[in-house]
Copies of this chain bind each other. A is one copy, B any other.
Amino acid sequence: VRAEIVAVGTELLLGQIVNTNERWLGERLAAIGVDVLHAQVVGDNLDRIVQALRLAASRADAVLVTGGLGPTQDDLTRDALAALLGVGMQRDPAIERFLRERFRAFGYDEMPANNLRQADVPRGVRTILPTRGTAPGLIARVGDGATIYVVPGVPSEMVEMMEGTILPELAAQAEGAIVSRVLRSASIGESRVAELLADLYEGSTNPTVAFLASAGEVKIRLTAKAGTAADAGRMLAPLVDEVRARLGDVVFTTEDESLEEVVLRLLRASERTIACAESLTGGGVGARLSGPPGASASFRGSAVVYTPEVKRDVLGVSQATLDGPGVVSEACAREMAAGARRVYGADLGLAFTGAAGPEPHDGAPPGTVWIALEADDTAHARGLHVPGERDRVVRWSQQAGLDLARRYLEGLPLPASEP
């Protein structure tokens, strides 16, 4: 099965948003053995959308279209599909009923008239009613050629229809399977990963080895293609072991878990709890630790303390520390971690303080970071220098702190301060 992705939306061409749907679709289609040979982006223009669909249908078996299904006048994908198929539009009573019920459930007395546009579909197409949002998906065959699948551009609505309806349909048609395993590592650079895995990576065809770096994390993606998913999985297993053996304990998952998911899993397994003290990170670590469902079993909370006074009043950081080494210091990080553990009654206290920039903070230059962990038998602090913009400093620090907790929970040696 050959697929093509067509994204509709002038906002994509103007660079107002990134086309993350394309990446998601590419990854998921690869996983079920569907080859994507082309992708297109086209603006909100009827003629150009029709041309893009026609080109895609001429060279692919499955055309996956995202966007242009909203209720406004510049949502033109429905009309473009009708023009391509050479059919008229008709109001679908099931969709109209669904829309009116959806708006009632949202607490509206009346549905805005515009939304009825979403009940008008090209004659003879199949529709997919959404669980989220109000835009139905569309499925149509072009003659006896390509099948066109149209889904909303809103990522969560797109994902729902792809996972619920379209990917299973395509998987049933595709031959073979592509399976990926993703290992993730923290506290190691991409070039060091590349060096350690050079011979596995160079010229790799099946399985393939690829790297992807982001702030404080390198993903290693191993991908195999075989007759069945089980066979592809068997091809990958020894390679996963080899990569893990070479990289060592910087690998925090072989199952593509996020670092916070790993920390929460380790906490749950050992029936322990964590609380944070955040200055530098402003609540971002709490937001990450509270993100996964079931987090409340292990995450007790976080004291976001953004001024010296509240560090003292809420967490008990000493006036001597504030007056002496200051808020960006090893002493302050240690007292914050101890305070969070005490105030929240948690087994682990994890603290973050630093100068995110662009200005120095309490005498410390931008990029100066202290993280600290306090637990039963351990009190550990680590200083870092993180170059870059404010958001990079914050993200890198989150990773370093969560990885410190992960290493503690796995009984691994804890990293020392950077020189």
Contacts and interface: CB of A to CB of B under 8 A. Distances in A.
Interface in A271-306: 275-276, 278, 281-287, 289-291, 293, 295-296, 299-306
Copies in the complex: 2
Interface in A181-231: 189-192, 194-195, 198, 201-202, 210-213, 221, 223
A22 interface: yes
Contacts of A144: none
B28 A15 contact: yes
Given A23-B19, A106-B387, A283-B284, A114 B30 contact: no
Nearest to A307: B300
A25 B223 CA distance: 30
A146 B253 CA distance: 45
Given A301-B306, A304-B304, A306-B296, A71 B41 contact: no
A317 to B, nearest CB: 13
Interface residues of A, number: 109
Given A18-B20, A38-B41, A299 B309 contact: no
Contact of A132 (B16, B43, B388): B388
Nearest to A72: B194
Contact of A278 (B189, B195, B210, B286): B286
B48 A38 contact: yes
Contacts of A320: none
A41 B17 contact: no
Given A15-B25, A107-B419, A114-B191, A73 B202 contact: yes
Contacts of A389: 132, 156
B26 A12 contact: yes
A27 interface: yes
A119 to B, nearest CB: 13
Given A286-B278, A301-B304, A112 B191 contact: yes
Contacts of A25: 15
A10 B210 contact: yes
Contacts of A156: 388-389, 392
A10 B221 CA distance: 11
Contact of A22 (B19, B112, B284): B19
Contacts of A198: 73, 114
6 contacts: A5-B41, A37-B42, A38-B43, A72-B190, A132-B389, A278-B286
Given A40-B40, A70-B213, A107-B418, 11 more contacts: A17-B212, A18-B23, A19-B23, A37-B45, A38-B41, A70-B190, A71-B191, A282-B287, A282-B299, A301-B314, A309-B345
